[in-house]
């Protein structure tokens, strides 16, 4: 997908950009803001589906029988024949980034009987699960999942230094942003036995460029589809259309990526 860029003079008339989701990596939000163009996003709907995807990739693969790749070549996906069937109840889940999706992951973890540890310097988690630093959930979790926004300071947040502190045999699940994870460091720790399994639904860049990490038998890959359930997609498009209609009618949209856009103040 090509990044949406804006050039030329200030826009005239009514303009709006709608993003079905919350990631705006492919939208020039700064340029839109300068031109008074709101960038509508749809945060609530897909968050639940993405959070559920963490559990599809996390404890669930331990219960699965050996499968083969889509080409039918018989390549095993994961080490099902050597697994002992770890159960989620009683396990510890580490969440890095406690926004909408991170909170939902925590809610689902509680339903599974899991203990939750969470770290987020911007959206503080509840005191009962809050960690003082990033290393604490890495050192104490059976499953580690990053859900921080991708900005310059969080790129490769999950790097060699952090992964050197993970609980031996932990599972790493990235359904957040591909750029949060350093694939080279992840592969090194996986090969050394520091991680037992890795699940990736997000890549950097997208479409993904091949990396040796993808070939490891203990890596499960899905093509950025954890938020793409039938109901979630329907409601997401409805929300996006509603946001566009709100802007064109002079109303304030429910959620925008650039809250300080100043094309004109809402009148209704």
In the chain, at which residue ranges do the beta strands (DSSP E only) sit? Answer: 17-18, 39-40, 92-96, 115-119, 143-146, 170-174, 195-200, 219-221
Annotated catalytic residue: which of 206, 242, 251, 263?
A: 206
Region of 122 (left: φ > 0; alpha: ψ -120 to 50; beta: rest) is alpha
Residues 19 and 257: beta-carbon distance below 8 Å: yes
> Annotated catalytic, 177?
yes
Question: Which of 187, 178, 172, 180 lies closest to 205 in space, CA to CA?
Answer: 178
User: How far is it, in rounded angstroms, from Cα 31 to Cα 4?
Assistant: 10
**224 annotated active-site:** yes
Q: Of the listed 86, 103, 147, 177, which one is catalytic?
A: 177
Q: Would you say 54 and 105 are in contact if contact means Cβ atoms under 8 Å apart?
A: yes
- Count Cα neighbours of 166 within 13 Å in the Cβ-side half-sphere: 31
107 is an active site residue: no
Catalytically annotated residue among 224, 242, 251, 263: 224
Q: How far apart are CA 118 and CA 143, in angstroms?
A: 12
Distance CA 19, CA 95 (A): 25
Cβ(257)–Cβ(29) under 8 Å? yes
In sequence order, the β-bridge partners of residue 93 are 116, 143
Kindly list the catalytic residues: 177, 206, 224
């Amino acid at each position: 997908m090509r990044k949406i860029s804006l050039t030329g003079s200030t826009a005239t008339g009514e303009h709006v950009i709608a993003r079905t989701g919350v990631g705006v990596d492919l939208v020039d939000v700064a340029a839109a803001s300068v031109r008074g163009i709101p960038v509508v996003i749809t945060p609530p709907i897909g968050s639940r589906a993405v959070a559920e995807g963490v559990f599809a990739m996390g404890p669930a693969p331990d219960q699965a029988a050996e499968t083969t790749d889509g080409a039918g070549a018989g390549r095993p996906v994961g080490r099902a024949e050597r697994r002992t069937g770890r159960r989620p109840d009683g396990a510890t889940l580490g969440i890095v980034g406690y926004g909408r999706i991170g909170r939902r992951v925590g809610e689902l973890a509680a339903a599974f009987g899991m203990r939750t540890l969470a770290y987020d310097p911007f959206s503080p988690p509840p005191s009962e699960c809050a960690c003082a630093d990033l290393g604490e959930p890495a050192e104490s979790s059976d499953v580690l999942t990053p859900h921080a926004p991708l900005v310059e300071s969080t790129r490769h947040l999950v790097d060699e230094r952090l992964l050197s502190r993970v609980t031996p045999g932990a599972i790493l699940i990235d359904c957040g942003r591909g750029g949060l994870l350093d694939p080279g460091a992840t592969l090194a720790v996986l090969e050394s036995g520091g991680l037992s399994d890795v699940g990736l639904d997000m890549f950097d860049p997208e479409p993904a460029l091949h990396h040796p990490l993808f070939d490891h038998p203990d890596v499960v890959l899905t093509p950025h589809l954890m938020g793409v359930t039938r109901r979630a997609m329907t409601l997401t498009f409805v929300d996006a259309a509603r946001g566009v209609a709100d802007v064109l009618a002079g109303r304030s949209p429910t959620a925008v990526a650039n809250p300080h856009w100043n094309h004109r103040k809402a009148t209704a």
